[in-house]
Structure 1
Amino acid sequence: MSTTTFPPSDPLTWKQADDDVHVATRAGEFAGFVEFDGSAHLVRDNHGAELGAFGSLDEAFRALEDAHEPTPQGPAFLPRAWRRRARRARA
């Protein structure tokens, strides 16, 4: 399975697919959708994972945009046991 990555500068493009469904694409690739269930706007990402329910369509759009923002790359957290140097076994 291949993974497509997009530069953060590429905005999401929204199209209304039905009365209660909006679909997002980025650089021509499916990025997720928002569906209105009668009481809330449900957001799903490009893998179908639910990102939450929102009261307004704008909040739902923003949630999907935020989900596509790259996360800052910092030093990864490692458990203390993994940070120690390997020790030689004693004879």
Structure 2
Amino acid sequence: MITPTDLAWQQADHDVFVATSQGEFAGFVTVDCSSHVVHDSHSRRIGSYSTLAAARQALVDATHPASRSRERLRRRILARRR
């Protein structure tokens, strides 16, 4: 499980930010116009976010197992959007 303080971020290019954890590749964020697209350590897309901070947090959140209450909340929110 990764915490925000476990990640070290480096700007690899003007539109690419790379995260490492304990010296190992943890994921990356690419900037595409106004969205920030985050990928995990296997280059699987996690999602698109409006800010770099939100994208970085999404990488941390993707490493945490979902709790039951959090999963129920997510389902309720998605059900309202339909």
- Per the TM superposition, whether the score is higher than 0.5 is yes
Is the contact made by 2:2 and 2:60 (CA closer than 8 Å) also made in structure 1?
no
CA distance in 2 between partners of 1:38 and 1:31 (Å): 23
What TM-score do the two structures reach when normalised by structure 1?
0.65
Over the aligned positions, Cα root-mean-square deviation in angstroms equals: 2.1
User: Do structure 1's residue 36 and structure 2's residue 47 form an aligned pair?
Assistant: no
Partner of residue 45, structure 1: 40
What TM-score do the two structures reach when normalised by structure 2?
0.72
More helix by share: 2
Q: Which has the larger radius of gyration?
A: 1
Q: How many equivalent residue pairs?
A: 67
CA distance in 2 between partners of 1:56 and 1:64 (Å): 13
Deviations 1:17-71 (A, max 9, x none): 11111000001000000000112000000111100000000000000011122x2
- Taking the TM superposition and a 5 Å limit, the aligned residue runs for 1:6-17 are 8=2, 11-17=6-12
* Matched position secondary structure for 1:51: strand
Identity, in percent, stands at 45
Moved >6 Å (runs of 4+): none
* Structure 1 residue corresponding to 2:59, chosen from 43, 48, 64: 64
Higher relative contact order (CA closer than 8 Å, sequence separation 6+): 2
| Structure 1 gap segments, 5+ residues each | 1-6, 74-91
More strand by share: 2
